[in-house]
């Protein structure tokens, strides 16, 4: 019996379709297979490292926007509250805003920020509608006559307004910082306070590792250490040795389950004392893959220019804080420049900031007067470590302090510079590229408007006084 050509075609079609279905199904259902195949478009700069972890955002196969919203809030929710957010969602939940919500759904992140749409993704890594402010603030010129005639597509220009973070851009803040010189007289950055707040760090394993100065004779893994004198000497110089952190404190997991010796401790080992720092690290671009259970980020995966010879370095705590010295000065500059290869990074060593940094590390200037990469990009901030307490931490989520760069104004720039210079410098792309060599060539009118507003207020207050008399 001969098989007709059509039947053969059908059989071949069925076989190929079955193979394709099995293969695609396998990719879809496998936990860690590369699923970029299914992507409707490339991911945004903030999320591109998570291409293998679709379920980081698509937490449920069934469901629509509310599923995505849950994922957004899970990672970004902490920053979306007052005073870090001028438009937190709770502001819009009141029934009286039902009409406003009908024109722009401010309860849902994806109303403005669409993923997988590189063609409309803006400079700061998110999609944004051009003139969304219009829907609620049409009558702004009534309150702020200085804004008469301004286009609603100019609200979010650099140094003016953000939808979310306006901590350094609200009127009273601007007027408070009028008349500041470009560089303030006494400049000093916040100092570390970790040691002085050890008592407040509940998770600190003080019972097992009391906070006392350790010496060579106290080493609790002498056999393993053997004759590795470099490791021993490095450790003896650290704050770890000075505060009771013995070998096993890091090399044996201090979690609930007893574990064995680990030659290369993972971030979880650091977490037992530095949980806030590790948590923040895994929220930023350096550590976000770890949070999703992926392999550590490598510079090869970065979209910014990176040094070729560092391409395959893994990014964990130890990448910047090399054991066993954990040199924070090295972590603040050399570690960054070991990978980052963009214009701004390359120009750093010619900058005024770097000169100050060198003076500090050479002991020619006071502590915290130098400006390292970390001074601006991983600044020391007063951070709410719980609902009830805050302390100064080095914010290891460097992404939280950038994009838009006005987020850096208070945490970094204003420690040393006046607000007017800061706003101009952050709006000047060339100045950023050459790491702020010389005065900014751009001037934005924010402070001029604040000055006018102050004058208007004073004039009106004087008029009211006059009337009262």
Partner 1 sequence: MKDQKQKMKLNLKHKMKRNLLIATSAVSIATTAAVSAEVSDATVSVKAMADALHLVMDSDRSVYTKKIVNRLVKKDKVIKASEHFEDDKALALPAQMFRFGSELAAKRAEKMDDVNFSYTLQSLWPINKQNAPKTEAEKTGLKYVAENKGKNYYTTEKLGGINYFTAIYADTGVAPVCVSCHNAHPDTPKKDFKIGDVMGGVVIRIPVEG
Where do contacts with partner 1 occur on this chain (CB under 8 A)?
Answer: 63-66, 69, 83, 90, 93-99, 101-102, 105, 107-108, 110-111, 136, 139, 142-143, 170, 172-173, 456-457, 460-461, 464
Q: In whole angstroms, how close is the CB of 96 to partner 1 at the nearest point?
A: 5
Q: Say how far apart CA 322 and CA 316 lie, in whole Å.
A: 10
> Which is nearer to partner 1, 228 or 457 (by Cβ)?
457
Q: CB nearer to partner 1: give 68 or 332.
A: 68
Q: Which is nearer to partner 1, 17 or 386 (CB)?
A: 386
CA-nearest of 46, 12, 2 to 288 is: 46
Tokens of 202: 């509940």
Q: Pick between residue 89 and residue 192 the one whose CB is nearest to partner 1.
A: 89
Instruction: Report the DSSP beta bridge partners of residue 390.
Output: 384
Q: ∠386-390-392 over CA atoms, to 5°?
A: 130
Q: How far is the CB of 100 from partner 1 (least distance, A)?
A: 8
CA distance 264 to 318: 9
If DSSP codes are grouped into helix, strand and coil, which group holds residue 412?
coil
The contacts of residue 79 (CB under 8 Å, 6+ apart) are 85, 164, 165, 400
Q: Which CB, 218 or 448, lies closer to partner 1?
A: 448
Q: What's the closest the beta carbon of residue 414 comes to partner 1, in angstroms?
A: 12
Q: How far is the CB of 134 from partner 1 (least distance, A)?
A: 15
Report how far residue 309's alpha carbon sits from residue 313's, in angstroms, rounded to the nearest whole number. Answer: 9
84: its two tokens = 């870090």
- Min separation Cβ 62 and partner 1, Å: 10
Alpha carbon distance 355, 54 (integer Å): 44
Shortest separation between residue 410's beta carbon and partner 1, angstroms:
9
Smallest distance, partner 1 to C-beta of residue 421, A: 20
Q: What angle do CA 76, 74, 56 make, to 5 degrees?
A: 105
User: Is-contact 425 440, C-beta < 8 A?
Assistant: yes
- Rounded to whole angstroms, the Cα distance separating 209 from 452 reads 59
For residue 194, what are the contacts with CB-CB under 8 A and spacing of at least 6? Answer: 391, 392, 393
Of 96 and 217, nearer to partner 1 (C-beta) is: 96
Nearer to partner 1 among residue 208 and residue 457 (C-beta): 457
User: Considering beta carbons, is residue 66 or 448 the nearer one to partner 1?
Assistant: 66
Contact 63, 56 (CB under 8 A): no
Shortest distance, position 87 Cβ to partner 1, whole Å = 11
Burial classification of residue 163, based on how many CB atoms lie within 10 Å of its CB (0-12 exposed, 13-18 middle, 19 or more buried): middle
How many Cβ atoms are within 10 Å of 213's Cβ, its own excluded?
9
């Amino acid at each position: 019996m001969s098989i007709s050509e059509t039947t053969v075609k059908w059989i071949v079609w069925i076989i190929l379709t079955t193979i394709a279905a099995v293969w695609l199904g396998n990719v879809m259902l496998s936990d860690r297979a590369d699923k970029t195949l299914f992507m409707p478009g490339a991911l945004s700069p903030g999320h591109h490292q998570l291409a293998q972890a679709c379920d980081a955002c698509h937490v449920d196969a069934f469901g629509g926007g509310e599923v995505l919203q849950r994922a957004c809030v899970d990672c970004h929710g902490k920053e979306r509250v007052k005073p870090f957010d001028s438009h937190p969602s709770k502001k819009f939940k009141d029934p009286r805003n039902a009409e406003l919500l009908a024109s722009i759904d401010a309860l849902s992140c994806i109303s403005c920020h669409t993923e997988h749409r590189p063609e409309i993704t803006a400079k700061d890594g998110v999609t944004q509608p051009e003139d969304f402010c219009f829907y609620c603030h049409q009558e702004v010129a009534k309150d702020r006559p200085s804004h008469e005639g301004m286009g609603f597509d100019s609200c979010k220009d650099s140094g003016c307004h953000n939808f979310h973070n306006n901590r350094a851009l609200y009127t009273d803040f601007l007027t408070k910082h009028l008349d500041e010189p470009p560089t303030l007289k006494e400049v000093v950055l916040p100092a570390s306070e970790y040691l002085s707040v050890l008592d407040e760090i509940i998770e600190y394993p003080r019972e097992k590792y009391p906070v006392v100065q350790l010496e060579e004779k106290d080493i609790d893994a002498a056999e393993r250490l053997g004759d590795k004198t470099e490791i021993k000497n490095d450790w003896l110089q650290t704050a770890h040795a000075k505060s009771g952190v013995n070998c096993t404190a890091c090399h044996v997991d201090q979690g609930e389950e007893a574990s064995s010796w680990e030659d290369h401790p993972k971030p979880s080992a650091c977490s037992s004392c530095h949980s806030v720092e590790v948590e923040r690290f895994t929220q930023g671009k350096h550590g976000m893959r770890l949070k999703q259970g992926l392999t550590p980020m490598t510079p090869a995966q970065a979209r910014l220019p990176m040094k070729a010879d560092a391409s395959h370095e893994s990014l964990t705590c130890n990448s910047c804080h090399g054991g066993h010295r954990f040199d924070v000065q090295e972590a603040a500059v050399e570690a960054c420049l070991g990978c980052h290869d963009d214009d701004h990074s390359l120009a750093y060593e010619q900058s005024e900031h770097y000169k100050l940094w060198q003076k500090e590390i050479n002991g020619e200037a006071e502590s915290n007067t130098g400006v390292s990469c970390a001074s601006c990009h991983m600044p020391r901030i007063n951070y709410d470590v719980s609902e009830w307490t805050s302390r100064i931490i080095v914010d290891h989520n460097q992404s939280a302090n950038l994009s838009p760069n006005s987020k850096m104004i208070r945490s970094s720039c204003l420690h040393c510079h006046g607000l007017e210079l800061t706003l101009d410098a952050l709006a000047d792309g060339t100045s950023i590229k050459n790491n702020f060599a010389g005065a900014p060539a751009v001037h934005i009118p924010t402070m001029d408007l604040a000055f006018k507003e102050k004058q208007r207020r004073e004039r009106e207050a004087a008029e009211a006084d006059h009337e009262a008399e």
